[in-house]
Structure 1
């Protein structure tokens, strides 16, 4: 029986030692994963700040002017968009002028005018005729127009620059 008791004690000790090893392995794995997660966090989030600072330093020479006299660029041809409302043909005629303070971006608008006009026609034709009859609808269209133009300028030149879109003629019938 003494031999059996000795074997049983050794077997129980092996089980306890196995549990201790398992706990140590789990703790070590958690520490490694936690350290890896912390390292990834610091690389991802501090890396973006560093690259943003580096990018912020580089284009400081080419930043859009926000001071100075306003420059207005009238889009010469009016936009004409048709709508079908309750089985009736409706039209929107819209003339607009762009406001900026950066002459370089005004020149960029002139260069990329076909792309800008295309984008604006698609924007105008996607609107609801009924919503455009309200002041809020017109203001939302102004904001969306400025955003669409600035998105094209950013895509083509890397900078925005249009402060405001002014509707100089807005006829709906």
Structure 2
């Protein structure tokens, strides 16, 4: 009987030691990973904050556009450009933005414009083209695009 008590008393000591070693290793690994992530993300957010442009004036495009879609449907839409502070307050020529919008949406299937995902994808593509077209001396002049109307039929 004495041997059984000694064996039972030794088993918890071994498992406690092993448990403590496993916990210590987990803390070291998690601590190192957490510190690494903190320093990596901290650098990204600081550089992203520097690159993010400041909002300037909004340039509304007065006339709505009507373009032909595929299969006899059409799209009538209007939009405005969110300029950056770097663009200043000078009046800009919106002809290029209008032309890019017409090219972007003409001939598209109405099914693509019927879903939020499809509209957002096309809008992001249009914004990218407009940002590139209105970039002056590596300064971003346009930072967003707002639809003021959007009707399909």
The alignment partner of 1:168 has SS state of strand
1:145 has 2:131 as partner: no
Q: What is the alpha-carbon distance in structure 2 between the residues aligned to residue 102 and residue 126 of structure 1?
A: 35
1:117 has 2:110 as partner: no
User: Which of 1 and 2 has higher RCO (CA within 8 Å, sep 6+)?
Assistant: 2
Q: What is the CA-CA distance between 1:150 and the residue it aligns to?
A: 0.8
Structure 1: tracts of 5 or more residues without a match = 1-63
The alignment partner of 1:76 has SS state of coil
Look up the match of 2:73: 90
Residues 102 and 70 (structure 1), Cα distance of their counterparts in 2 relative to 1, 3 Å cut: closer
Alpha carbon RMSD of aligned pairs, Å?
Answer: 2.6
Q: What is the alpha-carbon distance in structure 2 between the residues aligned to residue 116 and residue 94 of structure 1?
A: 13
Return the structure number with greater helix share.
1
Q: What is the CA-CA distance between 1:161 and the residue it aligns to?
A: 2.7
Count of aligned pairs:
104
Residues 120 and 77 (structure 1), Cα distance of their counterparts in 2 relative to 1, 3 Å cut: same
Q: What TM-score, normalized by structure 2, do the two folds share? A: 0.57
Which of 88, 95, 100 does residue 83 from structure 2 map onto?
A: 100
Q: What is the CA-CA distance between 1:70 and the residue it aligns to?
A: 4.3
1:122-153 deviation digits (Å, cap 9, x = unpaired): 11115332111100111112211211111111
1:105-132 deviation digits (Å, cap 9, x = unpaired): 6647x23x22222122111115332111
Which of 120, 129, 147 does residue 167 from structure 1 map onto?
A: 147
Could you say which structure has the larger radius of gyration? 1
Residues 102 and 172 (structure 1), Cα distance of their counterparts in 2 relative to 1, 3 Å cut: same
Q: What is the CA-CA distance between 1:157 and the residue it aligns to?
A: 4.7
Structure 2: tracts of 5 or more residues without a match = 1-50
